Amino acid sequence: MVRIVLIDDDPISTFVTEKLISKNIRIPHEIYKYDNAIHALKEIDSIQPNYLFLDLNMPEMTGWDFLEEFDPHKSTPEVYILSSSVDERDIDKARNYSLVKKYLSKPLIKKYIKTIFN
């Protein structure tokens, strides 16, 4: 069972991402959704996700803050930043995190899903 975590404070974006993933991957999977990075951080070790999609701009704890705090003990998920920001500084900053596999702009598209899960 593939475990996927979505961390995004925008419910519409989360809904679209979840539906796109569910429609386009054939392997058994579970999707865990968080609208708050602090809550996700508390539960992430028990989930042991294979994939993590992370928004950057959120209240309380940003995606950057999450990446600074996140220390995977049991498994190392592929982390994809999913952001509406197309600022080159954000894209460059994402490259400094070894956990971040790729920086993707919202909305997530079918082509990315096929690349990630194949």
pTM score of the predicted model: 0.94
pLDDT tens-place string over residues 8-53: 999 999 999 999 999 999 899 999 999 999 999 999 999 999 999 9
State the DSSP H helix or E strand holding residue 3, giving kind and residue range, or none if neither: strand 2-7
Residue 73 predicted with pLDDT over 80: no
Residue 59 predicted with pLDDT over 90: yes
Angle at 27 between CA 101 and CA 107, to 5 degrees: 50
Instruction: Quote the DSSP letter at residue 59.
Output: S
Report domain extents, the chain.
2-111
**Fold category of 2-111 in CATH:** Rossmann fold (3.40.50)
Residue 74 predicted with pLDDT over 80: no
